[in-house]
Amino acid sequence: MLDAAATALLDVSHISQTFRKGSGEVGLPVLDDVSLSLRDGEIVGLLGRSGCGKSTLLRIIAGLAKPTSGTVKFQGQEVGGPAEGVAMVFQSFALYPWLSVLDNVELGLRAQGETPEETRKRALAAIDLIGLDGFESAYPKELSGGMRQRVGFARALVVHPKILLMDEPFSALDVLTAETLRTDLLDLWSEGRMPIKSILMVTHNIEEAVLMCDRILVLASNPGRIASEIKVSLVHPRDRLDPEFRQLVDKIYALMTQRSESKPSGRESALPGTGLAMALPRVSTNSLAGLLEELAAPPYNGRADLPHLADSLQLEIDELFPLAETLQLLRFAELEEGDMKLTAAGKRFVEADVDQRKKLFGDHLLAYVPLAARIKRVLDERPSHHAPATRFREELEDYMSEDYAERTMRAIINLGRYGELFAYDENAQAFSLENPQ
């Protein structure tokens, strides 16, 4: 399918996107100089973790958002708004709850002024194609998630788009349903029964990307940019257990963790020496402890292959990577080449009792997370041992977007509470050293 002579259906060149802050000043970039192209007959995946700007990129391509700079060309024409010939499928299905299945599917055609007869004919054909026969008069609320997403597909296909954009279309579905939908879609695609020429899908599921895509673009975050491009030349239908398939998955895992080791997210823009600019993910301390215990126990005995770990723990990379990276940051584990390794401190943590664990955790937090050390020092220095959260939040906002700053604050509050470094009063929005009497 990858014909060198194939014409580019879609051309995205040098897209950058910067969001305005609430105060009106220009914030930090979300996307930085992204270029890609989409050719006839291929499925391309945008793979990245949450917050890497992949959904923003998809919306720019769909003409739903305007980039700060750069252009999107669809069939040689610059896109200046939602383009005809591009349709989108949403993670949340985005069906209108007050319209029946049939009305939802017909909406796009009716809005364009298509006659009721022609609309009905095409809608029924799309419903038939996607396997929704018999559900025409149902309301979305009555349907299961899988059926709802089928409506989402029928609604997109009925307008006969050239490009189908998909924003994590299977991530809100359970494992079995997602797999059925993927297979059905791939069948329709390879049999050429859909009018579409090309599919661009956003995903954070590595296996899904390898299963479906001809090309995978891996995005790095803060700011979002394309880190690498991987061609997948396995023939459809692909087998998840095929060694080649596994190898590719391993390779992408390694790629995605290795980069974050050499360049932890958020550190590039930091002022030298401060280290405060580290954007912390929100993770549960219970999950951190649980992951360490899992890692220490057989069959891993201190070293685990990440894809394997993700599979056996039923964790998406959006859940696993933040945990793994937080453990790495705290020096309880190390990541290398798609593997996770327990450190000596990690072993001690697993063997310790509850109080010792908290002590050890607190010590590591102070030593390796600059923000924790900063908060603790400020609290120690002040006679009142009190400090408002806004003070630190504003400091963070110099280095990262408001969202990231908020998330980092929530993360440090959670970690600090567990390590008993400081207390936080939600009502007063303030840190303190005192514990309730």
Partner 1 sequence: MTRLETIASVGRRALPNHWDVLALGAIMAGFVGVVHAFHGMNVPLPAANEPAVSLEYWNLPYYALRTVLRMFAALVASFIFTFTYATLAAKSRRLELVLIPILDILQSVPILGFLSFTVTFFLGLFPGNVLGAECAAIFAVFTSQAWNMAFSFYQSLRTVPRDLDEVSRGFRLTGWQKFWQLEAPFAVPGLLWNTMMSMSGGWFFVVAAEAITVGDTTITLPGVGSYIAAANDQGRWDAILAAVITMAVVILLYDQLLFRPVVAWAGKFRVETTASQVVERSWALDTIQRTVWLRSAYTPLVRALRSAALWRIGARPSFRKRDLPVLTTVSRIIDAIWIVAVVVVALWAIWTVVQYVGTELTWSDALDVVGLTLITLLRVIVLIALATAVWVPISVWIGLRPRVAERAQPLAQFLAAFPVNLLFGAAVSIVLAFNLNPDIWLSLLIVFGTQWYIVFNVIAGAAAFPNDLKEAAATFHVHGWQWWKNVILPGIFPYYITGAITASGGSWNASIVAEYVKWKDNSVVAHGVGSYIAQATEKGDFPKIVLGVAVMSVCVTLFNRLFWRQLYAYAERRLRL
Nearer to partner 1, 170 or 300 (CB): 170
Interface region with partner 1, contact rule CB under 8 A, candidates 87-95, 259-267, 378-386, 390-398: 87-95
Shortest spacing between CB 123 and partner 1, in angstroms: 13
Please identify, using beta-carbon distances, which residue of 106 and 250 lies nearer to partner 1: 106
Residue 38: how many CA atoms within 13 Å on its side-chain side?
Answer: 28
Q: At what angle do helices 285-296 and 306-313 cross, to 10 degrees?
A: 120
User: What would the two tokens of residue 239 be?
Assistant: 């087998």
Q: What's the min distance (Å) between Cβ of 119 and partner 1? A: 10
* Joined tokens for residue 41: 């007959």
- Is 96 a residue that touches partner 1 (CB under 8 A)? yes
| Choice from 6, 8, 94, 234 touching partner 1 (CB under 8 A) | 94
What is the nearest approach in angstroms of partner 1 to the Cβ of residue 419?
26
Q: Which of residues 46-85 bind partner 1 (CB under 8 A)?
A: 59, 62-66, 68, 80-82, 84
Give the one residue of 22, 97, 192, 383 binding partner 1; rule: CB under 8 A: 97
Decide if residue 117 touches partner 1 (CB under 8 A). no
**How many whole angstroms separate alpha carbon 290 and alpha carbon 270?**
32
Q: Whole-number minimum distance, CB 49 to partner 1, in Å?
A: 20
Q: Candidates 91-99, 187-195, 228-236, 280-288 — which segment interacts with partner 1 by CB under 8 A?
A: 91-99
Q: Which of residues 138-177 bind partner 1 (CB under 8 A)?
A: 139, 141-142, 155, 159
Nearest CA to 154 among 198, 111, 98, 106?
A: 106
Q: Residue 92 or residue 312: which is nearer to partner 1 going by CB?
A: 92
Helix (H, G, I), strand (E, B) or coil at 239: coil
Contact between residue 402 and residue 21 where contact means Cβ atoms under 8 Å apart:
yes
| Of 257 and 401, CB closest to partner 1 | 401
Q: Which phi and psi (to 5°) does residue 90 adopt?
A: -105, 150
Kindly state the number of chain residues that form the binding site for partner 1, as judged by CB under 8 A: 39
Task: Report the residue number, 165 or 276, with the smaller CB distance to partner 1.
Answer: 165
Spatial distance between the Cα atoms of 395 and 113, rounded to a whole number of angstroms? 53
Binder of partner 1 out of 15, 107, 147, 252 (CB under 8 A): 107
Q: Can you give the C-alpha Rg of the chain in angstroms? A: 24
Q: Name residues whose C-beta falls within 8 Å of residue 363's C-beta, 6 or more positions apart in sequence.
A: 419
Name which of 90 and 418 has its Cβ closer to partner 1.
90
How far is 416 from 387, CA to CA, in rounded Å? Answer: 14
Between 246 and 410, name the residue whose CB sits nearer to partner 1. 410
Answer yes or no whether residue 113 interacts with partner 1 by CB under 8 A.
Answer: yes
Counting Cβ atoms within 10 Å, is residue 117 exposed (0-12), middle (13-18) or buried (19+)?
A: exposed
Q: Quick check: 302 and 295 in contact, CB under 8 A?
A: yes
Q: Are 205 and 316 in contact (CB under 8 A)?
A: yes
Encoded one letter per residue, x for contact with partner 1 by CB under 8 A and - for no contact, window 13-42 reads ----xxxx---x-x----------------
The residue among 215 and 225 lying less far from partner 1, judged by its C-beta, is 225
Q: H/E element holding 198?
A: strand 198-203
Q: Is the Cβ–Cβ distance between 88 and 62 less than 8 Å?
A: yes
Eight-class DSSP state of 398: T
The DSSP element (H or E) to which 340 belongs, if any, is strand 339-342
| Nearer CB in complex with partner 1: 56/260 | 56
| Part of the chain binding partner 1 (CB under 8 A), chosen from 12-20, 35-43, 180-188, 341-349 | 12-20
The mark string for 122-141 relative to partner 1 (x by CB under 8 A, - otherwise) is -----------------x-x
CB 10 within 8 A of CB 38: yes
Residues 27/77, Cβ–Cβ less than 8 Å: no
What amino acid is encoded at 235 in this protein?
A: V
Q: Which residues bind partner 1 (CB under 8 A)?
A: 17-20, 24, 26, 59, 62-66, 68, 80-82, 84, 86-88, 90-92, 94, 96-98, 107-108, 110-113, 139, 141-142, 155, 159, 427
